[in-house]
Structure 1
């Protein structure tokens, strides 16, 4: 989340796979805010085969489990578009 996906690909090579890039603190937000961030990352990645959606770092201890589950569901839903 600290380095944009485009910058990461430029740095390591367009043919490399990267993962991320959701700031873990976003999972402490409301569902609408989480969805906005998820959509932004998916937009940055486009339909590239070399992107694995993930947090930019680990899950914070205070993260509501239902928010983590919601992110997975959002990624599945929004990736189908």
Structure 2
């Protein structure tokens, strides 16, 4: 989980995001080879494309700025996690339902861990979380 990776230039991204995560993955896999590891380089943009192969992660967490067309391409390499805009969850109603539906329609057939594209905000109504969970569960059963 790296909240600041999107502000780094390419060399810094490799030095401070890719290399440390690759080392963590190597150490985890040495002891627990079957444990999946999810990486989340928030804001990585085009760098999402080779982050999985460079780090050895199993699943790739995507922030809400990743277009669903790109997320679909990234699914070809394995599971993706995300990428609902947290503000849709705050808004609730149609904005939330449409966002959930778009992700499930585009990504639901592949390996997907439905999640927000970043953390839940303190002002998020619990009722909106309940509505999101209900919608995801009803669509995936």
TM range (shorter): 0.7 to 0.9
Distance 1:9 1:44, change over 3 A: closer
**Quick check: which one's strand share is greater?**
2
**Structure 1 portions without partners, runs of 5+:** none
- The structure with more radius of gyration: 2
- CA positional deviation for 1:9: 5.0
Q: Could you list the per-position Cα deviations for residues 6-50 of structure 1 after superposition, in whole angstroms to 9, with x for gaps in the alignment?
A: 31453x5613111001000001223222111110111110411x1
Aligned Cα root-mean-square deviation (Å): 1.7
> Which one of the candidate residues 6, 24, 48 is aligned to 2:86?
24
Q: How many residues align?
A: 78
Runs of 4+ in 1 over 2 A off after TM superposition: none
TM-score where L is the length of structure 2: 0.50
Which structure 2 segments of 5+ residues have no match?
1-63
